[in-house]
Amino acid sequence: MLELKSQVLLCLQDKGILYDIDMSFKDRLRQARMAIPKLTQADVAQALGVKPQAVSGWERGKNKPGRDKILALSSILNVSVEWLLGDLINRPKMEQITNDNVIPSERLFGVTDLPVWGTRQNIDGLMILTPGPVTAVTRPSPLLNVKDAYGLIVADDSMSPALKPGWTALINPILPPVAGNMCVFRDESMKGAVPFRIAMLRRQSREMWYAREINPELDFYLKRPEWVGHVIIGSYYGW
């Protein structure tokens, strides 16, 4: 069996969060807050009875909240204390993580038939998909029997730390996107090389997708139906 540091893991979403057992506290805090639409640092500060500058400092890693604030933070952000702390002292053991946050590779099943597309930047600065799959990976259980499911190699850090360069996003094109989902938005009006963006869906209308990148924080919209939204259900990392 692979060692923990190199073991391939499937990270499943929960309300837009892609869980990673090796993230720092500041990354976990910022990611969990941004997974809740319109929840600002000021909102968190008001709920905790602290200044917004304190929350900003926690998210930048300048300092950490006291123990009396941790439980309240976990409740506000709807995550467990264990996940939020997530350091070497407080990190739960692999066998203790059973609530679909992280699934070890030995619990994955399926054949190696999930096609994975590569990505690159074109001369206009747009991220585009390769013309066809560049490899294949083991199909995780949430994508068994899902027609047209696929993977996508992340090439930039616009959604870091939720998705980092080199990770493989796992995509279910059948699921209807809802607010809080991490999605791949593809410009299907283009022929050949397909432009795409990875972002968190904030809301949608008949005409528009309203989405957010998190590194740096950027809100934008895309026209429907030119841009099609596919839900990211998790990711592989550790290759």
Q: What is the CATH number for 196?
A: 2.10.109.10
Q: Is residue 135 part of a domain?
A: yes
Q: What total of structural domains would you count in the chain?
A: 2
Same domain flag for 124 and 232: yes
State mean pLDDT over 178-204.
Answer: 89
Q: Is a pLDDT exceeding 50 seen at residue 23?
A: yes
Same domain flag for 51 and 127: no
Same domain flag for 140 and 233: yes
Q: Is a pLDDT exceeding 90 seen at residue 43?
A: no
Q: Is a pLDDT exceeding 50 seen at residue 1?
A: no
Distance spanning both ends of the chain, measured CA to CA: 15
Token match 């994955």: residue? 108
Same domain flag for 120 and 44: no
Same domain flag for 218 and 136: yes
Q: Is residue 15 part of a domain?
A: no
Q: State the pLDDT confidence band at 213, using cuts at 50, 70 and 90.
A: very high
Mean pLDDT of the chain: 77
Q: How high is the pLDDT of residue 199?
A: 93
Same domain flag for 233 and 117: yes
Share of the chain above pLDDT 90, in %: 30
Same domain flag for 113 and 72: no
Same domain flag for 139 and 233: yes
pLDDT per residue as tens digits for the range 84-133? 776 434 443 433 333 444 444 444 445 788 999 998 887 677 899 988 99
Same domain flag for 146 and 79: no
Do 126 and 186 contact (CB within 8 A), yes or no?
Answer: no
Same domain flag for 130 and 60: no
Q: Is residue 143 part of a domain?
A: yes
Classify the phi-psi angles of 159: left when phi > 0, otherwise alpha if psi is within -120 to 50, otherwise beta.
alpha
Angle, vertex CA 185, rays to CA 182 and CA 188, nearest 5: 160
Q: How high is the pLDDT of residue 90?
A: 41
- Listing DSSP states for 93-134 in one string gives PGGG--SSSEEEGGG--S-S-EEEEEEEE-TTS-EEEEEEEE
Structure tokens at 85: 């702390």
Nearest one of 132, 224, 233 to 173, comparing CA atoms: 233
pTM score of the predicted model: 0.58
Q: Is residue 100 part of a domain?
A: no
Q: How far is CA 134 from CA 103, 115, 151, 165, in A?
A: 25, 8, 10, 16
Q: What is the CATH number for 48?
A: 1.10.260.40
Cα–Cα distance between 25 and 30 in angstroms, integer? Answer: 9
Q: How far is C-alpha 162 from the geometric centre of its chain's CA atoms?
A: 4
Q: State the pLDDT confidence band at 58, using cuts at 50, 70 and 90.
A: very high
Same domain flag for 65 and 160: no
Q: How high is the pLDDT of residue 230?
A: 95
Q: Is a pLDDT exceeding 80 seen at residue 180?
A: yes
Task: Give residue 35's domain range.
Answer: 24-85
Structure tokens at 15: 């309300």
Q: State the pLDDT confidence band at 209, using cuts at 50, 70 and 90.
A: very high
